[in-house]
Amino acid sequence: MPYPPFRLVDTRPALYPPYTGFCMTDRIQEIIRNDSQRLVSEHGLDSSSARIEVQCLLQAVLQADRAYLLTHPEQSLNEEQHARYRALLERRLNGEPVAYILGEREFYGLNFKVSPATLIPRPETELLVEMALQRIPSPPTPLPIPLLNPLSETTSHSTRLPTTAAKSLVIPQAGEEANEEGNSLILAGERGWGRGGLFRVLDLGTGSGAIALSIAHARPDVEAVAVDASQDALEVARVNTQRLNIGNVRLLRSDWFSALQGERFDMIVANPPYVAESDAYLSRGDLRFEPRAALASGADGLDDIRRIIAQAKEYLNVNGWLLFEHGHDQAEQARALLQQAGFVEVFSARDLAGIERVSGGMTVGHL
């Protein structure tokens, strides 16, 4: 019996799935190029942002990371993937933010669940987290605790420590400074750590919890309290707390300070509403889909900032910091409000675009 004709067979594994019959524009590289251009032309996005958004949609559909997209540019989407991607793209072309479409947004290296009940965390707000972390001191070195009270009347003469040694072992009380008698040893700059052993941070209007959780994740030795007037927003923050497995944050429903009577903090941070009610910006782009109450604040956009500054001292410990984000043209007014309220070391910090985006100040003296 004659042998069949000899044929070469490529036994190497296929790098890409078999051809599905779609046109060449269903390849990853073509989708990214063409649909990025659509977002630029129809929504005025810059080319870099548009490209990132298309990549995010593709990553969600393919369940792959960005590196996969870059290393598989010729791969074509199958029919199911194509349909899912087109549905997501249509939502984006209709103006819905990518973060709401996908239900999450990366912020300060962490992935946060978001919903229309919360603002979308933005890169420029990471500056507020940075400013906060820079001002949280390291915990002081634990002090030795004497086994016996050197000044006790019941201590025998043979075991009594010298008076000078006794002074060096006194445990400092909350808010005290070292004095000539050695009655307190807390060092300047270690404010907060004498009060129950934890530096306390309050995040006003927490939304998704991005600011408070980012600080708490970076500094697990602090205690953070995150408040919001919206129960729906707090539910999102609660999910993020559980997903990120962060245990040093307490969530509380509160309209700014209303539920915090009697509490004191070493730092207050906030990303409050700061857009003027009449600003046309509110009816453009992603802001059309975000909660208006978290964006607009009176005729000049400063109503909530004024309220926070006016009340913050009542809830701050001595040498406590108030830090907040504001609009691109509000830094000068923010500094003036802080100074009028008696804050010291008032400053404004610039974001990566060179815009003064965060301002703050410190309390001083006895409250």
pLDDT digits (tens, 9 = 90+) for 99-109: 999 999 999 99
Same domain? For 52 and 131 the reply is no
Q: Kindly report the CATH number assigned to the domain that includes residue 203.
A: 3.40.50.150
> Residue 319 to residues 18, 269, 293, 346: CA-CA distances in angstroms?
66, 15, 31, 12
Same domain? For 49 and 122 the reply is no
pLDDT of residue 143: 55
Residues ≥6 apart with Cβ < 8 Å to 355: 124, 328
Same domain? For 288 and 338 the reply is yes
Same domain? For 90 and 216 the reply is no
For the cut 80, the answer to whether the pLDDT of residue 331 exceeds it is yes
Same domain? For 210 and 324 the reply is yes
Region 238-260 average pLDDT: 97
Residue 267 structural domain = 117-138+194-362
pLDDT tens, residue by residue, 40-67: 998 888 899 899 999 999 999 999 999 9
| In a domain? residue 11 | no
pLDDT of residue 223: 97
Pick the last residue of a domain from 34, 63, 94.
94
Same domain? For 216 and 348 the reply is yes
Pick the last residue of a domain from 61, 94, 127.
94
pLDDT of residue 144: 56
pLDDT of residue 292: 77
Same domain? For 79 and 199 the reply is no
Same domain? For 311 and 263 the reply is yes
Q: How confident is the model at residue 197 (pLDDT cuts 50, 70, 90)?
A: confident
Structure tokens at 187: 């060092």
d(CA 17, CA 45): 33
| In a domain? residue 335 | yes
pLDDT tens, residue by residue, 119-147: 989 999 999 999 999 999 988 766 555 44
Same domain? For 309 and 254 the reply is yes
This prediction's pTM:
0.77
Domain count for the chain: 2
Pick the last residue of a domain from 62, 94, 126.
94
Same domain? For 88 and 213 the reply is no
Same domain? For 236 and 348 the reply is yes
